[in-house]
Amino acid sequence: MSRGWESKSVEEQQAEARRPKGEAKPQLTPEQAAQQREKDSLQLSRKGVVQQIQTTRDARRRQMLEAALADLDAKLSQL
C-alpha cells in the first residue's frame, strides 16, 4: 500500500482537494520538510498511544503508555 493519502490528516486532504489544480504547494526547504515529517510522525504516534490508553485495562500497560505519551508531548513541544 502506498503512503499517499493515508499519511495525511483529514484537514490536509480536504484543503488539498479544494485547492485549484494550478496552485502549487508552498515550497519547503529540506530542513523544513524533514521537521514537518517528524512532527506528523509524532502526532500520528500520539494518536495511536491515546487510543491504546483508552482501550487498555491493564494498569501497568496504561502506566507505560502514559509515560510514552508524556515523552511524545515533550518531543512535540520542542518542535
Domain that holds residue 69: 40-79
The helix (H) or strand (E) run that includes residue 78 is helix 59-78
pLDDT at 75: 94
In a domain, 70, yes or no: yes
The percentage of the chain sitting over the pLDDT mark of 90, rounded to a whole number, equals: 56
In a domain, 18, yes or no: no
In a domain, 55, yes or no: yes
Give the total number of structural domains in the chain. Answer: 1
Distance CA 63, CA 4 (A): 34
37-48 tens-digit pLDDT: 999 999 999 999
Query: 51 versus 9: which is more confidently predicted?
Result: 51
Distance CA 59, CA 5 (A): 35
Task: State in Å, rounded, how far the first CA of the chain is from the last one.
Answer: 29
CA 18 from centroid of its chain's CA atoms: 22
pTM over 0.85: no
Query: 11 versus 24: which is more confidently predicted?
Result: 11
In a domain, 13, yes or no: no
- What's the average model confidence in pLDDT over 9-34? 75
